[in-house]
Amino acid sequence: MEVFGRLADRESLAPWWPLTAAGLAAFVVSLWNFTREVATFGLELGPVLAAAMGMSLAASVLYVGVRLERSDLDERERWVVVTAGLGGGFVFTASQALTFAIRAVEGRSVSEPLLPVLVVGGLGTLVGVLVGRNYVAAERGRRTAERSRDAMAFTNSLLRHDVRNALQVVAAHIERLADHDDDEVVESARSIRSQTDSIETLLTEVESLSSVLTGELETEPVDLVDVLASVSEGVADSFEAATVDTDLPDGLVVEGAEVLYPVFDNLVKNAVKHTPSDDVRIDVTARAGDDVGVTRVADDGPGIPEDDRERVFESGVSSDSGGHGLYVAQTIVETLDGDIYAEESELGGAAFVVELPLADEQEDGSDDPFGG
């Protein structure tokens, strides 16, 4: 198809003219063939139907040429459609002519070959136009996707550097305010720190999703125990009302990436944010299943109604991180060929289960998830 676009460099001929001329020529030939058949057979149903078929296909080709001139396609895209259409007409007509030649070689007579040629040629042209139009649409979609990917990569780079550098400056000033003698200033510093922490979390989630959408996410063996221990410790330190208990093996290496941290950080923090009581208990457990590492984050909060357990992963449904935290988590986990779902917790609240493929080799080089 790429070779079709080379005709775009021709400035002396508008791309719609060849297609329109082909349709007009086919219409004139169909009309001439009709008058010839009427002179031979009279005005009967056969000649009328033959003329209607040939002229309608010719008129369709003519109409497509006129519509092409009024379309939103650029010059190169129009030449792609025109060349595909003419190419389709040529291939179909040549195929029909080949069948006539074969019959002639076999000694068979071919009567009235003009109508089949006109019909097949018209159909081939219209099919070619459709193929060319779909090709142009696919190329436009590909270019749009590339631009979106480049924009996402730029955004990811911007978040990693400029925005985080600004947050570091803000954090430094917060530390100075936190040591102030005025209690109101100290309280303001705590509020600012809370907001910057939320921004940091959001940046991490955006970066994670960006790496997935741009195809920059590279999997590597990750010890899930280290990730879960770090997340649990961080949440316990940040939220005094949260009791985070862990039941983790000595090691559980899965096929993951750095983006696993924001996934589990989001799940554990959700348990804290969605529990209205002053105290919340969270159990984080992990084990090796059949070819997967299974992590379960359970809480004693209000839980999730059964009818909503699939909807919470839709973008904008959950109330975490603007309604996108669980959507981001699901996108990342599924990109890593894993699975994530919600169920009822044995503590009476909600439980999120994450399954990730076990790494081919654990850290000690054995195939046993526990190093046996």
Q: Are residues 8 and 68 in the same domain?
A: yes
What's residue 363's pLDDT? 47
Answer whether residue 367 is part of any domain. no
How do residues 99-117 score in pLDDT, each as one tens digit? 888 888 887 776 677 888 8
Q: Which two tokens stand for residue 362?
A: 């654990």
Answer whether residue 368 is part of any domain. no
> Taking the mean position of all CA atoms in its chain, how far away is CA 129?
27
Given a cut of 70, the residues of the chain with pLDDT beneath it are 1-13, 110-111, 152, 156, 160, 201, 205, 208-209, 213-216, 275-278, 315-324, 361-372
How do residues 274-309 score in pLDDT, each as one tens digit? 766 668 889 999 999 888 999 999 998 888 888 888
3-state secondary structure of 36: helix
What's residue 5's pLDDT? 47
Structural domain ending residue among the three candidates 216, 245, 274? 216
Best CA proximity match to 246, nearest among 220, 281, 279, 270: 281
* H or E element, residue 255: strand 253-256
What's residue 64's pLDDT? 87
CA distance 118 to 124: 10
CA distance 187 to 243: 24
Please calculate the CA angle 333-337-341 and round it to the nearest 5 degrees. 50
Answer whether residue 260 is part of any domain. yes
End-to-end Cα spacing for the chain: 57
Q: Are residues 165 and 267 in the same domain?
A: no
Structural domain ending residue among the three candidates 216, 249, 270? 216
Q: Are residues 224 and 271 in the same domain?
A: yes
What's residue 110's pLDDT? 66
What's residue 312's pLDDT? 86
Answer whether residue 116 is part of any domain. yes
Alpha-carbon separation of residue 243 from 229, 235, 271 (angstroms): 14, 9, 11
CA distance 76 to 331: 37
Q: Which two tokens stand for residue 34?
A: 């009709």
How do residues 105-153 score in pLDDT, each as one tens digit? 887 776 677 888 888 888 888 998 999 989 999 998 888 877 777 776 7
CA distance 339 to 263: 12
Q: Which two tokens stand for residue 227?
A: 């990730």
Structural domain ending residue among the three candidates 181, 216, 251? 216
Query: How, if at all, do strands 280-288 and 242-247 pair?
Result: parallel
CA distance 163 to 152: 15
Q: Are residues 101 and 18 in the same domain?
A: yes
**Dihedral, CA of residue 52, residue 55, residue 60 and residue 62, to nearest 10:** -160
Please calculate the CA angle 324-326-328 and round it to the nearest 5 degrees. 65
Total count of domains within the chain: 2
Q: What is the CATH number of the domain that holds 267?
A: 3.30.565.10
Q: Are residues 62 and 171 in the same domain?
A: yes
Q: Are residues 182 and 232 in the same domain?
A: no
What's residue 332's pLDDT? 86
Q: Are residues 192 and 167 in the same domain?
A: yes
* H or E element, residue 195: helix 183-213
Please calculate the CA angle 336-338-340 and round it to the nearest 5 degrees. 125
Contact 173, 118 (CB under 8 A): no
Average pLDDT, the chain: 81
Q: Are residues 190 and 295 in the same domain?
A: no
Tell me phi and psi for residue 160, to 5 degrees: -65, -30
What's residue 169's pLDDT? 86
Q: Are residues 191 and 272 in the same domain?
A: no
Best CA proximity match to 284, nearest among 302, 271, 301: 271
Range of the domain at 261: 220-357
Q: Which two tokens stand for residue 154?
A: 């730029």
C-alpha neighbours within 13 Å on the C-beta side of residue 123: 12
Answer whether residue 363 is part of any domain. no
Q: Are residues 171 and 36 in the same domain?
A: yes
Answer whether residue 364 is part of any domain. no
Answer whether residue 264 is part of any domain. yes
Answer whether residue 369 is part of any domain. no
Q: Are residues 158 and 290 in the same domain?
A: no
Q: Are residues 233 and 336 in the same domain?
A: yes
Strand order across the beta sheet in which 280-288 lies: 242-247, 280-288, 292-299, 350-357, 339-344
